[in-house]
Structure 1
Amino acid sequence: MGREFVEIFDEWVHTYDESVNGNDEEYKDVFLKYNEILQAVAEAAIGPVIEFGVGTGNLTKKLLERDLEVVGVEPNQAMRKVTAQKIPNLTVVDGDFLEFETPIFPQSFVSSYAFHHLTDVEKAQAFQIYAEKLSTGGKVIFADTVFDSEQSKKEMIAFEQARGHINLVEDLNREYYTTVPKLKELITKAGFTVNLSKMNNYVFLIEATKI
């Protein structure tokens, strides 16, 4: 993920689980159907798996429940500590979407609520890297906020502004939320087929398969 956002998670680490469980009214719509979204990612994955942005380990647990071999990649030290407490035997390395170790030969790359920390140029670079590391049939399964168009993004920001959701509006303006057409373009150019399924008003399940 974009390293410029790493320090933000020093604050999020203490409240993240509360927010994703629907206890933060401002982010309630973003995390609507959170467990269902994570389950969809986990069910689409094939092992071994590299998970980017393990955070507090919520997606990791669902992957492990499927008996998949998982290596976590997490750039934030505080998040790595939380994950180590929750899942003591998990291997978690310091890294991000673009620079990471591969102690296993991955068949899937997965992530939830993190890919928007990369610019569109960086997203394209990331998928080129994944294409090099995956064999044919290998998968990338990300759940992330994506907008149908730039216009729909502007409308959503205006909607949240009117609701007084200042922190969410700040996030939407600061980070690199892309659009469905742009994301499909950069993924297919990297040599994948891709399907996007809308999970809530913010989040799409992105399932890409290497050709």
Structure 2
Amino acid sequence: MGREFVEIFDEWVHTYDDSVSGKDEEYKDVFLKYNEILQAVADAASEPVIEFGVGTGNLTEKLLERGLQVVGIEPNQAMRKVTAEKMADLKVIDGDFLEFEAGISPQSFVSSYAFHHLTDTEKAQAFQLYADQLPRGGKVIFADTVFVSERAKQEIIAFEQNRGHLNLVEDLNREYYTTVPKLEELITKAGFTVKLSKMNNYVFLIEATKI
């Protein structure tokens, strides 16, 4: 359920904000229009909000700027510490996409750059879980790397390999990046309508609304 990647963020916690701001050339295309992507997620959310993978709190800040009630879920202790220092009043709980005790009845689930830590089977389980907790019209709004096809995924991996972006290639091969058709299938099967909007060459905005 993504917990196998938790320790990676012990290292990322020190460099993540530099990467998302475009200072890391290797990940520059992944985080292109980063603030616009986060704002799109925040703008689509309604309170109460449960945010998965709070990280360093960049999406959280945009949610709070809108005055929304937010409970954060973050499995990495170092990331929780960073967020606590930035936003002392924010409630951040140790949990993940499949196991969490937020203590609220959410209107929205949100996340950015994290859902790929789940296998496709776990993604399907997650949406079934969210369907059980959301009211009709409730939303799941995720921004994440998704590929239009498996072929497109392999082509971009080869492209990044040729560019010498070996850390990015390792990430793309190790984690569970899915395809648009597969994601649409598992979301609709869970009882949602879904809209995917391409934000950059890697990231789609995923808006799922419970029927």
> TM-score, length-normalised on structure 1?
0.99
The answer to whether 1:204 aligns with 2:201 is no
Counterpart code for 2:100? F
C-alpha deviation, 1:108, in angstroms: 0.2
Q: Who is 1:31 aligned against?
A: 31
Deviation of 1:21 (Å): 0.2
**Any unmatched runs of 5+ in structure 1?**
none
State the match for 1:169 in structure 2: 169
Q: Secondary structure at the match of 1:106?
A: coil
Other-structure match for 2:186: 186
Question: How far is the alpha carbon of 1:102 from its aligned partner?
Answer: 2.4
| Structure 1 vs Structure 2 CA RMSD | 0.5
Task: Provide runs of 4+ in structure 1 moved above 3 Å.
Answer: none
Report the Cα distance in structure 2 between the residues aligned to 1:191 and 1:27, rounded to whole angstroms.
Answer: 34
Match of 1:153 in 2: 153
Amino acid at match of 2:172: L
Contact 2:48 2:105 in 1 (8 A): yes
User: Whole-Å Cα distance in 2 between the matches of residues 141 and 94 of structure 1?
Assistant: 21
Q: Deviations over 1:84-118 (max 9, x none)?
A: 00000000000000000121110000000000000
Contact 2:72 2:91 in 1 (8 A): yes
DSSP-derived class of the 2:157 partner:
helix
TM-score (norm 2): 0.99
Q: Could you tell me which residue of structure 2 aligns to residue 106 of structure 1?
A: 106
Distance in 2 of aligned mates of 1:102 and 1:183: 25
1:51 aligns with 2:29: no
SS in 1 for 2:22: helix
Moved more, 5-14 or 100-109: 100-109
5+ residue gaps, structure 2, are none
SS of 1:194's equivalent?
strand
Structure 1 letter corresponding to 2:9? F
- How many residues are matched? 211
- How high is the sequence identity, in percent, across the aligned residues? 84
Letter aligned with residue 107 of structure 1: Q
